[in-house]
Every structure is written in structure tokens, then in C-alpha cells.
A and B are shown apart, each in its own frame.
Chain A
């Protein structure tokens, strides 16, 4: 990569920083309004109690548990793609990792709120810590999600450190006062980064450790989320394949989410030159592989249950294949699983549009799949004579929409202050560890002045 391209890359990476044009504020206002509606609905629910939801004695878990699983699943894409691309040293990762990692944190923050939204007594949440029973899957969840969230923050933060100087410099170009105000924040966050070789080595080690660590942590989160269901005696849930199925489903939907988010920022922030069709093709391969594995797991699950047609599993299987949930089930199986794989796998034109279309279907499909896990499992007649019913209230729908809008809102605000593409990562894959020799873009030369060479 020549000096000019690198300059252009930095120019694009910092373009959103300090941006305050009309489109930016419209986006913030619209997303903020949807989020505010969701927050209002939550306050409404807290004041009145859970009767304002569509939940009932039979189906006592609904949208909130579905959303918890769904959004934490979305956060997988960020953590996993970024970690896997780093560990396999995929050179094309540079423009993608920052967006992927930020998406992971944003989705995780949203998903982690849902267990609290679901509580009958959110004011007593601290009881989980005060009286923690180590044998309870809820305690496993809280522990795993907290650990994973800290790790995700660190995984976003570490590679960001060398870019903080770039960010501050960019901000001071457009908003000198704001930059001055935030200078102590950037300085504090940068932890005295100077780009010295020792610091570079420490950072590389740290990022490497996190990339390895984030994978088992991510796997643990969706495993314990699966055990929330699998350790009960309900026939649909009481299954050994649940944990791997959940982990795979989370990766599948997560990669799809990363594709959609990357495509959106590529278009809006004008990153076309650096995020190209090949990136979407490579991510599509990942999506296809995960989707195929998911189909395999699902077939394995239904064959073992369906072939025997045991008395306990029969009602839910019938409800899914031919009964009241059949439309949703086949919509997911065909529209959310087979179709996107075909769309993404076919050779030919419009690789980006096809990747995004397939990903959209996968995201919607995986939400539906979580619905098909939670609701029929709850509604199934455990006393063999009564099916439960569930239809969500406006409160649940509003909270769901508000939380979904919170993800793009958080991302837009984040990239208002931090580079959307990792500059340091680019230098790393392009083999420019020595800042002294690094050709700098005009305007960013002072960044590295005084750094390097002194140890």
C-alpha cells in the first residue's frame, strides 16, 4: 500500500469523527426517539408490573428471554469474526475489525439488559449476588455474561489505544474546543501510548491473548444460556445438543449482523475503496459454512427425536411441523436458513447486495428460531391437557424495537469519537511497525512525533 492510499485510508477512517451534519443529527434523532419509546415502555412496565406484558402463568418467558438470547447471539459475530481473523492472520481484516468489535459490545450491552427487564422484581436484582446459588443456571448466566462483557470491552479497547492519537487529532481539526475538552479523556484512555517497540510488543501480546480468550468466553455464554433451557425437564428443551446448537446459532446470526453493519457503514461513511466485494465474499463463506453446520445440527436434533416419536416430545414436534407453529417453523427453515445460504453461495453478480440480503434473512430467521425454542417449549402441555397461549403486548414490542435501535445509535455515537477503521491494524498487516519509517498522511504527521526510537 502506497503512501497516498494510506493517507486516504486514514482520511476515511476519521471522516465521521466530529461530524455534526444534518444527516448525522437526523439519524441520532430518529434512533434516539425509538430508543426513548423503548425506555418509556420499560418504565411503564416497572411502575405497573409484568401484567402489562403478554406473559401468563403458562407461558411465563417470552419476548425478553428471546431477545436476550438473540442480541447476545448478535454480539458473537463481532467477537468471533474479529478474533478468528486475527488468529488466522487474515490480511484483509484491517478495515473490518473495529466495526465488528464495536458491534459486539453494542449488541451485548443491549442483550445483557434483558434478564433485568424480564425480572418480576428488578429492584431485587442485587439478590443474585447477595444470595448467589452456584447451582442455578441464572447465576451461571449472570457470571458468564459479565465476564464476556468485560472481555468484549477490552477486546474493543486494546486495538483502539494506538488509534486514540489519530482520533484526537482528527477531532481537533473540525472541533478545536471539543477536542481540547476531551483531550484529557483521550490521554487517559491512551495509557501513555507512544508507539515504542516495547509498547507495540505488549499491545500485540495483549490483543493476541484477548483474541484467544474471547472465543471460549463467547462459547461459554451461549452454552449457559442454552442450559437455562436444557436443564429443565421440558421435552423440547431437555436436549444435549442445545449448547452447541445455541453457540452455532449465535455465530451464524452474529456473522450476518456483522455483514449488515459493515455494509451500512461502508455506504454511509464512504468506505467502498477499502471494504470491497471480496470482504463480503469472504464473510459470506463464513456465513455459508455456519449455516450448513446449523442445518446439520438441527437435522440431527429432529431426527433423533422425530424418528422415535416419544410421547413427551410428540406434542411440540407436531406443533412445529404441522401445528400452530408450522408457518413460523417453515418460514425459518426455508426463508431464514436454506434461502440465505443459496443466495450467498450462488456465483455471479452483486456479491455485496446478495451477502446483505442473505444476512438480513438470517438475522430475522434466527430471531424466529429463538421464538420457536422459547414459546412452544413454554406452551407445551406439561400437564398433558392444556396448551398455553402467548401474544406479546405493545410494551414488549416497543421495548424490543427500542433496544434494536439502540445498537446503531451506540455505533454512530461511538464512531463520532473514534476511527471507524483501525489505522494501527492496517500498519500491522501492511508490515509497518516502525512509526519512524511510516509515511504519514498530511495533517497527521505530528501524531507520531516524539514517539519511537527511544528504546
Chain B
């Protein structure tokens, strides 16, 4: 059965085309592009909330997008136990909707960070099954507010439920800091309790094609399809 997916576009999204290409090239199935004002969502296996600056990041990153018309459908999609992936601004939107815990605050150095980062899997889930234990993935980040924060109670919850999907780590020859943006416990991506919703700051859709510097971003789609 072919894998169906969709990408939501908000005004100010700028990684929607990248996400569409990523899905088309790797899933080989039907990929829909849905405008934020739509009120229905086709039945698909995966929805991506892409990166960018939805609504110009006004008010708070992701805050305005979380009130868009399409969001009710996105929540329904997640409640139906289907996959939902928020990348970068998409992750911020998921925390604003409340589908994911915690919040993304400004990077520790208070500067935008656009560079390669390295991550590894923390706890196993359907988004990272194809990744080996201790395998280091090289994937670009590009964010101003990617510093994951939550209170101790939530952090314990995330750990106990094994909701931490990815954490930042050191690359073999890179002198990039281990924890690139100051996230609590170097968290790079988390899931909801049921583990069908993932939010992550790194951009796997910029690391999959042969001409990209790394192809590690393929592993996420491969995990979902396998």
C-alpha cells in the first residue's frame, strides 16, 4: 500500500517546498500540499508542519499558526493515531497547540544558528527505528528559538515515558559544541506520549538527496515506511 502524506503551508512557511520534495522523493506516494485556511485534511499516513516563520513569528514563534483553521483537522489526524511531524517552526507550532510538552525559547547565545549539527537517538520510536544505537546523524539546523525548555516535572515525564526522540551530540571531527543551542538535556526532538507526534529542530528535509552534505535525513522516512 502506498504511503500518503501532506504538508501544511502557512503564510511565512519557507520549508514547505523542501518538505514536499523530501516526501515525494522518499515515499514515492501521493503528497498533498494543504493551505492553512482549508477545513479538511485528506486521509494520509503522515502530516508535516514545515519550517519557516509562520505569520512572521509575530506574537511568539508558532503561536498564530496554532490558531489556523486547519489545526482542528491536524489535531484530529494525530488523535487518530496517525503520524504528525513538526520540523523547526513546525515543532514550535506543535508545542503551541499543546500536542507536545515544553517550549522552545531563544538559543543560548541569543543568535540565529544556521549550521550542521549532530544528533543521535535517545529512545526508540517509529520515527527513528532505522537508526542504529549510537549512530550519529548529521543534519542542518536553522533557528533562532530552538532551545528546548520544560520544568523538572515535565522532563521526568518525558524521560519516564521515553518521549525524547533525539538529542544533540558531538560530531567526529567537528568542534561544534555538544549542545548546540542550550536545550535542556540537549533535547533535539520529542514525541507525545503515544509516540505518533514528533517535533524536532533539525531539518531532515535538507539532508536526503545525493547532492546534500549528508543523507541521514532519509532515516526518518525510512523508519516510518518500514
Chains A and B come from one and the same complex: no
